[in-house]
Structure 1
C-alpha cells in the first residue's frame, strides 16, 4: 500500500475514534445512541467526504469539484439530521422535550467525521475535547444550577 492509502485509512480510523469517544459519553449517560452508532456516523461522513474530494476526472476543474464537495457535505449534514430526529421525543402533556443533546451529538459527530476526512487535525482534537467537555461538564453544571430540572425552561434537552 502506498502512503496515500495509509493516510486514508488513518483518516477513517480517526473518524471512528472520534465517534467512539463521544459514543462512550452517550452510553455512560444511558442515551439511545452509543459507541457503535456514533462511530458509524463519523466513519460514514468521513467516507462520503473523502469520496467527494477524491472525485476522479474533476481534478482539472476546481469549480466543478468545489460544487460536488459542497453538495455532498450539504447532503450529508442535512441527512444526518434524520438520525438525530429519531432520538428527539416531545411529551405534549408535560411540555418537555427529550433527546436534543443526543441529536446534537450526532450532528457534531458527523462534522468531526468531515474534519477527519479533510485532515483538519487541530479541529478534530479541539472538537472532540470541546464536545466531551460540553456533554460531561455542562451536564454536571446544569444539575448544580437547576437541581430537579433538566433545563432552565423546564424542558429536558438531553
Structure 2
C-alpha cells in the first residue's frame, strides 16, 4: 500500500511541470538538430532532457537537495557515455562532437527542469539554440579565411626520397639546411622503400613560414641522389 500512502497530488503536479518543461525545451533543441540532419535529432534530445529531469526530480523527492546533487553526478557521467556514441572517426576526420555537446547541454537543461528551475532551463535552451544557429556564420567565416602558417600550431614534416648510397650525406644536408633556416629538428626517421629511402624530419617548432620551407625543400630537391622532396603539416594532438 506504499503507492497509495506516497500519493501526493501537489508533488505529482510539480513532477508533471518539470517533465513537461524538459520535454518541450528538449524538443526545441532537438528540432534544430533534426533540421540540420544530425545523428542525434529531435527525439534523442527530448528524451535525454526528459530522462535527466526525471532522475533529478526523483532524487529530490527521495532525499531533497542532497539527493538531487548525488543524482546529478551520475547523470553527467551517463550522458557522457551517450554522447561518445554519436562521435564518429573517419580516418583523420572526427564527426559528431557538436552533436555530443548538444546532448550534454540537453541533459543539463533537463536537470534544471527537474530541480524546479524552469527559468534557468529556458535560458540554457536559448543559449544552446543561439550557439548552434548564430555561431554557424562565424564558423564558416573562420574556415574560409586564408591560413597563416605562422599563426597555426601543427606538426611539420620534411620528406625526402633519397638513394640508398647517398642517404647519410642527404640526411646531414637536411639537418644543416633546416638549422640554417632556424627550424630545429625534433626527430628524424628513415623508411626503407623498394627503390630508395624516405627520410622524414619532424620539426620541433609548431609554426612555420611556408616560403622558408619551400626554399629548403627546393634546395634539397637539387641534391645529388634526391628524387623527391616535399613538406607537409598535420594537426597537433
Q: Do both proteins adopt the same fold according to a TM-score greater than 0.5, normalized to the shorter chain?
A: yes
Partner Cα distance (1:125, 1:71) in 2: 23
Deviations 1:7-61 (A, max 9, x none): 2101101100111011011111110111111111011010010110111xx56xx
Alignment gaps of 5+ in structure 2: 1-7, 146-151, 154-233
The match for 1:24 is 31
Contact between 2:26 and 2:106, CA under 8 Å: does it hold in 1? yes
SS at match of 2:89: strand
TM-score under structure 2 length normalisation: 0.55
TM-score under structure 1 length normalisation: 0.81
Mapping for residues 62-101 of structure 1, pairs under 5 Å: 66=66, 68-92=67-91, 95-101=92-98
Q: Which has the larger radius of gyration?
A: 2
SS at match of 1:146: helix
SS at match of 2:76: helix
Task: Name the structure, 1 or 2, with higher relative contact order (CA <8 Å, separation 6+).
Answer: 1
Partner Cα distance (1:74, 1:7) in 2: 23
| More strand as a share of residues | 2
Count matched residues.
Answer: 142
SS at match of 1:97: strand
Q: CA RMSD in A?
A: 2.3
